[in-house]
């Protein structure tokens, strides 16, 4: 299914996993149904938050992303999707789309892609990337299954 926002096609992606490049920087690897892979470099804390969810580990107290999800739910809001909608000067930009219960209007909240991923994973919201951003930021080598030595350097 193609999503549209302001005339731009949005491509559903899945999080293939987390990895490190050869300099030790962590990234989340997103992939669409056409096999285009998009690495988004993230901080260690965000990688840890994503890994906790991927491994379905239970924490004794809510972490920051759980706190935000719980707060939104208590206020009657739902994250409907996470968008990676811009790439400028090697920096990805993202938004969480939130809808209040019983309302049609959706609001978009600016977020870092790593935080958006951590929240979308917890809620089960779709992760979408604008097609032109995916084309511009994609890697030409398939990263799935490669070793850390094979991952291209990040200049950011």
Domain ranges of the chain: 3-140
Q: Is the pLDDT of residue 148 over 80?
A: no
Poorest-pLDDT segment among 6-20, 21-35, 43-57, 59-73? 6-20
Alpha-helix residue ranges (DSSP H) falling in 17-80? 44-54, 64-74
59-95 residue pLDDT tens: 999 999 999 999 999 999 999 999 999 999 999 999 9
Question: How long, in residues, is the chain?
Answer: 156
Average pLDDT over residues 102-108: 93
Q: How many whole angstroms separate alpha carbon 135 and alpha carbon 33? A: 13
Which residues face 82 on adjacent strands? 96, 127
Q: Is the pLDDT of residue 152 over 70?
A: no
Are β-strands 3-5 and 8-20 bridged in parallel, bridged antiparallel, or unpaired? antiparallel
- Please report which confidence band the pLDDT of residue 149 belongs to, taking 50, 70 and 90 as the band edges: very low
For domain 3-140, give the fold.
Answer: Bifunctional nuclease domain (3.10.690)
Please give the pLDDT value at position 55.
94
Which tokens is 143 given? 């990263």
pTM of this prediction? 0.83
CA distances from 34 to 13, 37, 51, 53, 131 (A): 10, 9, 25, 25, 11
Please give the pLDDT value at position 8.
77
Q: Is the pLDDT of residue 28 over 90?
A: yes
What is the residue-averaged pLDDT of the chain? 88
CA distances from 122 to 10, 22, 97 (A): 21, 29, 14
């Amino acid at each position: 299914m193609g999503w549209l926002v302001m005339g731009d096609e949005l491509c559903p992606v899945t999080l293939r996993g987390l990895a490190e490049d050869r300099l030790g920087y962590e990234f989340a690897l997103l992939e669409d149904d056409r096999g285009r892979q998009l690495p988004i470099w993230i901080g260690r804390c965000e990688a840890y938050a994503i890994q906790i969810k991927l491994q379905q580990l239970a924490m004794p107290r809510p972490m920051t992303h759980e706190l935000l999800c719980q707060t939104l739910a208590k206020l009657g809001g739902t994250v409907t999707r996470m968008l990676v909608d811009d790439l400028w000067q090697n920096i990805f930009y993202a938004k969480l789309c939130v809808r209040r219960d019983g309302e049609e209007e959706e609001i978009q909240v600016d977020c870092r892609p790593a935080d958006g991923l951590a929240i979308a994973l917890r809620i089960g919201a779709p992760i979408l990337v604008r097609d032109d951003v995916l084309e511009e930021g994609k890697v030409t080598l398939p990263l799935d299954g490669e070793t850390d030595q094979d991952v291209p350097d990040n200049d950011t």
